[in-house]
Structure 1
Amino acid sequence: MADLSQKEWVEQLKADDNAFILDVRTPAEFQQGFIPEATNIDIYLGQKFVEEVEKLDKTKNYYVYCRSGARSGQACNIMNSLGIEKAYNLQGGIMAWQGEVVQ
């Protein structure tokens, strides 16, 4: 897992043609606004979160965020333990996000 600043996260994401954006907040939080093209898998689902992550393509590069960066950091660690090598945590989460948000 790598913690990236918003600037690093955005620059790396833009240059990455194998990127997958993952929002690990609750569905209610996701509905309040999300980064474009994000897929939502709630980390609070516990074992179901693990099962959903196991279905993901392990060859993709995952850009992971939550509200503040804490849950997404945990999610990246879980993803790494499940064989997903490239998981990038957005420091500060969506609260610090200054880019586009889909409402």
Structure 2
Amino acid sequence: MLRFLLSATAGLLLTLATTCPAAAQAKVPVADVATTHKLAHKRNVVVLDVRTPAEYATGHLRQAQNLDFKAPDFAEKVAALDPTKTYLLYCASGNRSGQASAIMQEKGFAKVVNGGAFKDLKAAGLKTD
């Protein structure tokens, strides 16, 4: 009986993982610092700092726009962006930028890159304000 329950539970989890869009969504990998550095210097790339305004105020990449992932209107602001552009996102650790990247992809943004952690980008020599 226990074997049957374990087998049934495993089957249910597998079914959910393959049919639930959120579970099936591949996590956006963090780009290496060299790739992020190259992208950040391209004219057609929009750099988004998805940290809070308070975090952004302590320092950010020079060309970055602040789009707070924790803000209640985050989805509305994403919807107002041009889905044909390339977006490079970063945050404090790469977690929020990964979540924000996945949301953007779900909303039809094809070119989204998770740049990872601000401290790593700053340490790699990307210009900051």
- The two structures share one fold, judged by TM-score above 0.5: yes
Higher RCO, 1 or 2 (CA under 8 Å, sep at least 6)? 1
Deviations 1:27-51 (A, max 9, x none): 00000000011111110014x1000
- 2: CA distance between counterparts of 1:101 and 1:43? 20
1:1-103 to 2 correspondences below 5 Å? 1-14=28-41, 16-46=42-72, 48-91=73-116, 93-97=117-121, 98=123, 99-102=126-129
Number of residue-to-residue matches in the alignment: 99
Gaps of 5+ in 1: none
Gaps of 5+ in 2: 1-27
- 1: CA distance between counterparts of 2:59 and 2:40? 19
The alignment's TM-score, normalised by the length of structure 2, stands at 0.72
The alignment's TM-score, normalised by the length of structure 1, stands at 0.89
Structure 1 stretches of 4+ with a deviation exceeding 4 A read none
RMSD between aligned residues? 1.3
- Classify the secondary structure of the residue corresponding to 2:63: coil
- 2: CA distance between counterparts of 1:101 and 1:28? 15
CA shift for structure 1 position 2: 4.5
Which structure: larger Rg?
A: 2
- Quick check: which one's helix share is greater? 2
| Matched-pair identity in % | 35
